Structure 1
Amino acid sequence: MRTYFYAPSEPGRPPAPRPGLVLYSEIFQQTPPVRRLAFNFASAGYLVAVPEVYHAHEPAGCVLGYDDPGKNRGNALKQIIPMSDFDADARAAVDALKAHPGCTGSVGAVGICLGGHLAFRAALLPDVKAAACFYPTDIHSGTLGKGGSDSLARAKDVRGELLMVFGRQDPHVPREGRRLIYDTLTDAGVWFTWHEFNAAHAFLRDEGERYDPSAARSALGLATDLFRRAL
């Protein structure tokens, strides 16, 4: 599983171990906006690992386009990968970060779209202390992966703190779906914060018509605050 690592650079100072973050991409893998998002978190003081979520089906380095063929391929792949494979990849990424000489051993997760759901799944691991899930898809419907997912049923297994961020104009996670997620997390006793913006799906992606710079700044600030507090 090809995984890209990003670390802070402070000229004139010796390298110091940092808390680690697994950053999960959209269905398109590591596009330029995802890479810039990794830079953003690395500049905030974290060792960031970006795994290729479709490594078993695409060659290393594959980036799908923000076009209809890319969307179709990405959406098809997310349906045929068993959830057990996604979970095993999360375990491998977290273990790689914890073993990295540039990491303190304290690990969190963050993701967007498909990656928001995968960050939620990573939070089921007891050593993930915090996860920021930006407009995570398929949690409310249980439709991620071959055979579906049990993410909401396993909400009680989350031990760290969650940040859940959504756009109200996101058709992929409608109001009823958001309500189901909120109520399930509350009933499971999960420690979480919840934020909704008047924004579309993918409002964090810093290119394209759905990008909302103001909402993105606020949302990334919330994530940075979470990781500073929890990691």
Structure 2
Amino acid sequence: MREIKLKAADGAGEFSAFVWEPKNKESAGAVVVIQEIFGVNDALRETAASLAEMGFIAIAPDLFWRQQPGVDLTDKTEAEWQKAFALMNGFDQDKGVEDLKVTLDAARKLPGSNGNAGTIGFCLGGRLAVMMATRSDADVNISYYGVGLDGLVPEFDNIQAPLLMHIAEKDEYCPPEAVEAVLDGAEDNEFIDAFVYPDVHHAFARVNGVHYDARAATIANGHSAELLAEVLG
């Protein structure tokens, strides 16, 4: 893993992005790995490293840099949860998407990149991955238990590249009526696939997370890997 610096499009400064590169692969697709509310932490780093092991370039930007650079929290203590929610509430999602677009452009130009690039995001990052599907030219976008996705349904008509959404049936941050709205909005869009995983909670695929579910995570990750390989090469 190495750190690079990227310039924000609005001229507000530079932010860090962390890059994992595959071994013994001269030409690889790139995946922008979008953080949860806990920042670029151990779980996200492990996810990025696993993508590199699969032959992709993984790049994870520090999206909370405008508030506090280098956020690295876990889901294990109440104090960390409170700080994570405070950071999320202070986060400008529109500027976050612009930072992700900068990261996506950089990903396409990294040494060894084949020029294809997509996103994969979790929780807050799952929402941002859907926003990238509606607002960017990413080749593919994957959302795990994105929050507030029902509010993005009016933008679904903008989607022109594959979007895969993994939804937890018992997600405490996504009530059944919100899930229904998202599924209804996705039904007629040929670019969108959505899977609902029964009897699991939010963050069922968070590595070492309190709600980690090995079976659901394995199935979801399999779908993700298949789509990334198909689109990014």
- Pick the TM interval, shorter chain: 0.7 to 0.9
Identity of paired residues, percent? 25
The correspondence of residues 85-124 of structure 1 with structure 2, limited to 5 A, is 85-124=95-134
Q: Which residue of 2 aligns with 1:2?
A: 16
Distance 1:126 1:138, change over 3 A: closer
* Distance in 2 between residues matched to 1:82 and 1:62, nearest whole Å: 16
For the 8 Å contact 1:49–1:97, the answer to whether it is kept is yes
Q: For each residue in 1:160-192, what CA deviation from the matched residue of structure 2 results, as whole angstroms up to 9, or x when unmatched?
A: 1111111111111121111111112235x2512
Distance 1:190 1:54, change over 3 A: farther
Q: Which residue of 2 aligns with 1:129?
A: 139
Q: For each residue in 1:179-216, what CA deviation from the matched residue of structure 2 results, as whole angstroms up to 9, or x when unmatched?
A: 111112235x2512111112111111121431111111
Q: Following TM superposition, by how much is the alpha carbon of 1:125 offset from its aligned partner in structure 2, in angstroms?
A: 4.1
* Distance in 2 between residues matched to 1:123 and 1:160, nearest whole Å: 7
- Between the two proteins, the alignment pairs up a number of residues equal to 216
Q: Which residue of 2 aligns with 1:218?
A: 219
* Distance in 1 between residues matched to 2:134 and 2:26, nearest whole Å: 28
Q: Following TM superposition, by how much is the alpha carbon of 1:107 offset from its aligned partner in structure 2, in angstroms?
A: 0.8
For the 8 Å contact 2:168–2:202, the answer to whether it is kept is yes
Q: For each residue in 1:36-58, what CA deviation from the matched residue of structure 2 results, as whole angstroms up to 9, or x when unmatched?
A: 11111111111011111201111
In structure 1, the gaps of 5 or more residues are 143-150
Residue aligned with 2:149, SS: coil
Q: Which residue of 2 aligns with 1:148?
A: none
For the 8 Å contact 1:206–1:213, the answer to whether it is kept is no
Q: What CA RMSD, in Å, does the superposition of the two structures yield over aligned residues?
A: 1.5
* Distance in 1 between residues matched to 2:194 and 2:228, nearest whole Å: 15
The correspondence of residues 1-231 of structure 1 with structure 2, limited to 5 A, is 1-10=15-24, 15-59=25-69, 61-66=70-75, 67-140=77-150, 142=151, 151-187=152-188, 189-198=189-198, 199-231=200-232
Q: Which residue of 2 aligns with 1:147?
A: none
Q: For each residue in 1:105-138, what CA deviation from the matched residue of structure 2 results, as whole angstroms up to 9, or x when unmatched?
A: 1011101111101111122244211111010012
Q: Which amino acid aligns with 2:195?
A: H
Q: Which amino acid aligns with 2:22?
A: P
Residue aligned with 1:121, SS: helix
Distance 1:84 1:206, change over 3 A: closer
Q: Which amino acid aligns with 1:62?
A: V
* Distance in 2 between residues matched to 1:82 and 1:153, nearest whole Å: 20
Q: Structure 2-normalised TM-score?
A: 0.87
For the 8 Å contact 1:111–1:117, the answer to whether it is kept is yes
For the 8 Å contact 1:25–1:114, the answer to whether it is kept is yes
Residue aligned with 1:153, SS: helix
Residue aligned with 2:22, SS: coil
For the 8 Å contact 1:19–1:47, the answer to whether it is kept is yes
For the 8 Å contact 1:126–1:160, the answer to whether it is kept is no
Q: For each residue in 1:60-93, what CA deviation from the matched residue of structure 2 results, as whole angstroms up to 9, or x when unmatched?
A: x321232222222222222233332112111111
In structure 2, the gaps of 5 or more residues are 1-14
Q: Structure 1-normalised TM-score?
A: 0.88
